[in-house]
Homo-oligomer: A and B are copies of this chain.
Amino acid sequence: MKQALDALEQTQYAYSQAIGCLHHDGSTAAPRGSAAARGVTLGFLSEKSHELMVRPQTRELIESLWACRDELEAPVRRRVELLKKRVEELTRIPVEEHVAYSRLVNESSVMWRQAKENNDYSRFEPYLAQVLDYCRRFAAYKDASKPAYDVMLDDYEKGMNTQTLDAFFAMLRERLVPLIGPLSDQPPAPDFVRAYCPVEAQQRLSERLMDILGLDRQRCAIAQTEHPYTVGFNRWDVRITTHYYENAFLSSMYSVIHEGGHALYELGMDEELQFTCLNDCPSLGLHESQSRFYENLVGHTPGFLSFLAPTLRELFPEALGGIDDGALIRAANRMAPSLVRTEADEVTYPLHIMVRYELEKRLVSGDLSTRDLPEAWNALYRDNLGICPANDSQGVLQDMHWSEGMFGYFPTYALGSAYASQLRHAMSRELDVDALAAQGNLAPITAWLRERIHRHGNLYDPRDLLKRATGEDFHPEYYVAHLTRRATER
């Protein structure tokens, strides 16, 4: 039976690598007009992969293994447990609803893009309402005993629920919102952050950063895309992506560091986990904790920026030749409330997430209708960030997540940063993180994270893994304290 399990998982791996490769190629290398014909292949492979999971043989295999779970080694038992959950959830959703939903999400994301481009929320609203309906229904199929939003949260962050998140965001609101006002009085960003930096020089910077991060180039490649992401097919094949703006060198610089953090996670999973469902992270929040760790707790530190400054001046002599370390550090750490999440600084960022959490909680419970969503969005931005979008494109339409049915996803972004701070606190018992960052010596940091997080893949639930790694349960105080320092010690 163990052999049948391995074969099943290897087949799933093959489908998902093929699908992942087609998506990655589509986002980085394929010509623009190729999407529809690629969709034929993607549709076919997704269907086969879905069929494999719900077919009787698979369910019988999993049930038989589950029946003798006490005799299985722990990693095998964990695999069976994870697959059982997935198979059961997939089986409970009627095939015709699954197909109709896939079609709807396709249309909905097209409509979202059009609505955003034309600043016309009303065009998108009916689709959003339908997507939300499906998501609520699917949540009930998965676990009717729990509130729908808790089921959704659990999808992205196993074990997470509104109780924990309500407390987390209440704490953020209470401690951070009072800090926002003073941030608004800052002088504008200096001109050099908008100076022209040729793409070729930025590409060389990416290479340097990958070396500094210790990304093994035999196993990790970089490509260009519109919205940067990382994908790991296995521990020997991880891809990061970035986007180059000629007049914003910090953008790609921090994309590469952020995605590099994700990549280190994928590259660090143990060899024994390969080709199984354990070669995965336990939650999106934990994955994000790695990218945020390198981006914020290494990449934004004065020490690391001083270490990097000579390289930046060398690569961008015209833009940065006369800029001293202090100016660079201040510019990279400039904070001010803004309208767009992906451009937010470290301190205001979780407030953007808080707004989305509040809204999706109310949308899913039915307290808020999709028709009233833009107004509610604007009100929350006014109350918490002190600013209000001039239009829906910069407001409620800015993110694609809801158009694709990803309700419950946003909180993982803030949780990731909070986990990172908790890991940083635990790490500091053994390592002088700031000093290492200032030397550009990230290997000990990565080794620490690999041993405690990366190598374990999906062997443990996220909260358990965090506890094993840091010695304590989720404790957001480290994060809030860190953000308070960032916002005040300037």
* Interfacial residues of chain A within 236-283, with CB under 8 A of chain B in the complex: 236-239, 274-275
Could you say which interface size class chain A belongs to? 35 or more
A44 proximity list for chain B (CB < 8 A): 10-11, 14
Cα(A21)–Cα(B20), bound, Å: 11
Cα(A51)–Cα(B221), bound, Å: 33
Cross-chain contact B223 with A33 (CB below 8 angstroms): no
Query: Of B33, B220, B236, which is within 8 A of A218 by CB?
Result: B33
Cα(A237)–Cα(B38), bound, Å: 8
Cα(A464)–Cα(B101), bound, Å: 48
- Interface presence of A68 (CB below 8 A): no
A275 proximity list for chain B (CB < 8 A): 37, 40
**Known A-B contacts A40-B13, A237-B37; A31 and B200 likewise in contact (beta carbons under 8 Å):** no
Cross-chain contact B11 with A274 (CB below 8 angstroms): no
- Interface presence of A17 (CB below 8 A): yes
* Interfacial residues of chain A within 130-147, with CB under 8 A of chain B in the complex: none
Cross-chain contact A37 with B274 (CB below 8 angstroms): yes
Cα(A311)–Cα(B14), bound, Å: 46
- Interface presence of A86 (CB below 8 A): no
Cα(A408)–Cα(B218), bound, Å: 36
Cα(A446)–Cα(B409), bound, Å: 50
* Interfacial residues of chain A within 218-242, with CB under 8 A of chain B in the complex: 218-221, 223, 233-234, 236-239
Q: Which residue of B lies closest to A44 (CB)?
A: B14
- Interface presence of A18 (CB below 8 A): yes
Cross-chain contact A218 with B25 (CB below 8 angstroms): no
Cross-chain contact A218 with B18 (CB below 8 angstroms): no
- Interface presence of A29 (CB below 8 A): yes
Cross-chain contact B22 with A38 (CB below 8 angstroms): no
* Interfacial residues of chain A within 1-60, with CB under 8 A of chain B in the complex: 10-11, 13-14, 17-18, 21-22, 24-25, 28-34, 36-38, 40-41, 44-45
- Interface presence of A217 (CB below 8 A): yes
Q: Mark A464-486, 1 if CB is under 8 A from B, else 0.
A: 00000000000000000000000
Cross-chain contact A13 with B41 (CB below 8 angstroms): yes
Cα(A223)–Cα(B14), bound, Å: 25
**Known A-B contacts A37-B237, A44-B10, A236-B36; A22 and B31 likewise in contact (beta carbons under 8 Å):** no
* Closest 5 pairs between A and B when the two form their complex, measured CB to CB: A34-B237, A33-B218, A14-B44, A14-B41, A18-B18
Can you show 25 pairs from A to B with CB atoms below 8 A apart?
A: A10-B40, A10-B44, A11-B44, A14-B41, A14-B44, A18-B18, A18-B22, A18-B41, A21-B21, A21-B25, A24-B25, A28-B29, A29-B239, A30-B237, A31-B217, A31-B218, A32-B217, A33-B237, A34-B219, A34-B233, A34-B237, A37-B233, A37-B237, A38-B233, A200-B200
